[in-house]
Amino acid sequence: MPAEVRSEYPGAVPLRYLERAAGRLLRAAGLAEAELSVLLVADAAMAELNGRWLGRPWTTNVISFAQGEGGAPGAGLLGDVVLCVDAARREAEAGGVGLHRRLLELLVHGVVHLLGEDHEAGAAEARRMEARERALMDRLDKEGIMADLCINVDHVATVREARLAAEPDPVQAAVLVELAGADGVVVHLREDRRHIKDRDVRVLRQILKTRLTLEMAATDEMIAIASEIRPDIVTLVPEKRRELTTEGGLDVAAHEGHIREAVARLHDAGVPVSLFVDPEAAQVEAAGRTGADCVEIHTGRYAEARGAEARDREFEAVVAAARAARDLGLRVHAGHGLDYRNTARMASVSEIEEFSIGHAVVARAVLVGMERAVREMLALVKGC
């Protein structure tokens, strides 16, 4: 990983938040290929490091150790940043901000030091360093640190259709999803209408206060429906009548012309487009050529992997695909098969900006209620 965050602090720290923050910070600084090491310590450890390396045996909030000449941009190890959690907590309380925010500010300060800036070199240098830090913080604030979570309510409709009844209503479920704090709702309108119906999509478009993602095949019928309803984004997915759920990503490489045409038609209607793809370089590259705005990386192989070695291999495939997509200027979403055991690791990948999770949340909601099920997944994705 480009950024490694370790903790020697004897208490709880927002590790996942800082892992994502460090990755996004490197990209914002134009150092996507660089590596950064971040260490979290307490007052005593920070004082010991200061005394050993800098000749000042007292605690400070942050220190940086550059590798190479002035942290010149490029690949390889940029350097090490050490953050004192105790000092950050004191400063956060004094400044009326949260600990997450103060740690982010100190991380930015430390990285800017690694880039060769030094506020102690003079007034002009201090102003230049402050301006650089402010620009990076502004960009991070604009992009956000943690990924969004959108909940797929298809399987609420699956239960409804098991009895061909009116309940449970996926529209009502979507309201609870929003009340629980999710960032959006996902539905898949299939050609055979096996669960979600046209009525569901139309009502959701009218009532949702967050955003609606419509998953669909790239057919004339579905493009016409999406062009009329205009969801916040369409995700084009492959579709087979006999499958229980979507079994893999779109083969964009094999059907690039058809998908490019579908993307163009949806864009003409003012609808952004994401493509659901397997974590393979050829598929990501083809997606970039279609004019799509985003890819949703299929995480099914990662979710289904058995054994640590297989899980690691599939995880790295998703990471590589996410980085390749970002390099092409595509937004990156991820989903399929993610649950309460495997999501936290994926949520640390800073390139992924949104997760789409459905079955695991609906399954837990049967036992604990929709709002609690959503909040528990939010805690995994947001790291809080």
Q: What is the CATH number of the domain that holds 285?
A: 3.20.20.70
Whether 72 has a pLDDT exceeding 90, the answer reads no
2 pLDDT tier (thresholds 50, 70, 90): confident
Are the beta carbons of 236 and 273 closer than 8 angstroms? Answer: yes
124 pLDDT tier (thresholds 50, 70, 90): very high
Last residue within a domain, chosen from 123, 143, 163: 143
Nearest to 185 by CA among 175, 196, 199, 193: 175
Task: State whether 196 and 304 are in the same domain.
Answer: yes
Task: State whether 234 and 321 are in the same domain.
Answer: yes
Task: State whether 107 and 155 are in the same domain.
Answer: no
Please name the residue ranges forming H helices in 117-208. 123-143, 154-162, 170-179, 198-207
DSSP secondary structure of 256-307: HHHHHHHHHHHHHTT--EEEEE-S-HHHHHHHHHTT-SEEEEE-HHHHH--S
Whether 71 has a pLDDT exceeding 50, the answer reads no
> Residue 204 in 3-state DSSP?
helix
76 pLDDT tier (thresholds 50, 70, 90): confident
Q: Residue 29 corresponds to which tokens in the numbers above? A: 């600084």
Task: State whether 132 and 153 are in the same domain.
Answer: no
Task: Tell me the pLDDT tens digit for each residue of 183-242.
Answer: 999 999 999 999 999 999 999 999 999 999 999 999 999 999 999 999 999 999 998 756
Q: Please pick, among 109, 113, 188, 333, the residue that the annotation labels catalytic.
A: 188
Task: State whether 93 and 160 are in the same domain.
Answer: no
Task: State whether 42 and 158 are in the same domain.
Answer: no
Report which secondary-structure segment, H or E, holds 317.
helix 308-327
Q: Please pick, among 100, 109, 333, 336, the residue that the annotation labels catalytic.
A: 336
DSSP label at 145? Answer: S
pLDDT of the residue at 245? 57
> Looking at 206-220, 239-253, 323-337, which range is the least confident one?
239-253
Task: State whether 131 and 155 are in the same domain.
Answer: no
Nearest to 286 by CA among 266, 256, 315, 261: 256
Report pTM. Answer: 0.88
Q: How many Å from the N-terminal Cα to the C-terminal Cα in the chain?
A: 22
Residues 6+ apart with CB under 8 A from 180: 370, 371, 372, 373, 374, 375, 378
Average pLDDT over every residue of 131-149: 95
Task: State whether 357 and 211 are in the same domain.
Answer: yes
Rg (CA), the chain: 23
> What is the total count of domains within the chain?
2
pLDDT of the residue at 70? 47
Residues 6+ apart with CB under 8 A from 351: 23, 319, 322, 323, 325, 326, 332
Last residue within a domain, chosen from 121, 143, 165: 143
Task: Give 3-state DSSP helix, strand, coil % of the chain, rounded to 5.
Answer: 50, 15, 35
Whether 286 has a pLDDT exceeding 70, the answer reads yes
> Does the annotation mark 188 as catalytic?
yes
Whether 1 has a pLDDT exceeding 70, the answer reads no
Task: State whether 255 and 338 are in the same domain.
Answer: yes
Whether 104 has a pLDDT exceeding 50, the answer reads yes
* Whole-number Å distance between alpha carbons of 326 and 103: 26
69 pLDDT tier (thresholds 50, 70, 90): low
Task: State whether 67 and 199 are in the same domain.
Answer: no
**What percent of the chain shows pLDDT beyond 70?**
95
Last residue within a domain, chosen from 143, 178, 209: 143
pLDDT of the residue at 339? 98
Average pLDDT over every residue of 350-378: 97
- Going 14 to 108 to 320 to 144, the CA torsion angle's sign is positive
Task: State whether 49 and 122 are in the same domain.
Answer: yes
What is the domain-level CATH number for residue 109? Answer: 3.40.390.30
pLDDT of the residue at 239? 85
> Does the annotation mark 258 as catalytic?
no
* Whole-number Å distance between alpha carbons of 16 and 22: 10
Domain range enclosing 249: 148-382
DSSP secondary structure of 49-107: HIIIIIS--S--SEEEEE-SSTT-SSSEEEEEEEEEHHHHHHHHHHHT--HHHHHHHHH
* Whole-number Å distance between alpha carbons of 23 and 326: 12
pLDDT of the residue at 67? 84
Task: Tell me the pLDDT tens digit for each residue of 17-52.
Answer: 999 999 999 999 999 889 999 999 999 999 999 999
> Does the annotation mark 155 as catalytic?
no
Mean pLDDT of the chain: 94
Single-letter amino acid code for the residue at 116? G
Task: State whether 278 and 152 are in the same domain.
Answer: yes
Q: Please pick, among 215, 239, 296, 353, the residue that the annotation labels catalytic.
A: 215
pLDDT: which is higher, 242 or 11: 11
pLDDT of the residue at 33? 86
Are the beta carbons of 215 and 188 closer than 8 angstroms? Answer: yes
